[in-house]
Amino acid sequence: MVQEEPRSEVVAKSDAPREKKPSVFAQIALFIRQVFGELRKVITPTRQELFKYTGVVLGFVIVMMAIVYGLDVLFVWLTTFVFGVPSSGS
């Protein structure tokens, strides 16, 4: 099997100097500035929106609780049906 020699176009050479990576403290300061910039974009919900969102979340939680309760009852019935009820005898 013959391998070809790599051509000069394959590996790009860059004569441009690499940018220096900022120090750890500069990176932390940049992160904190970006956090505050994102926090300025946050919009606080109105009282009406807050009650609406709370109702949606509570409704979803109640529906999920009903589904879990229904599955629990189904599995209890199924295991009782398959394995039977142990008799309490002496």
* DSSP secondary structure code for residue 9 in this structure: T
The pLDDT of residue 2: 64
The pLDDT of residue 11: 58
Paired tokens of 89: 């005898």
The C-alpha atoms of residue 3 and residue 61 are separated, in whole angstroms, by 63
pLDDT along the chain (90 residues), means of 10: 62 68 91 96 95 98 98 95 76
Domain edges within the chain:
24-83
The pLDDT of residue 1: 60
The C-alpha atoms of residue 89 and residue 59 are separated, in whole angstroms, by 46
CA distances from 8 to 11, 12, 14, 57 (A): 6, 8, 13, 61
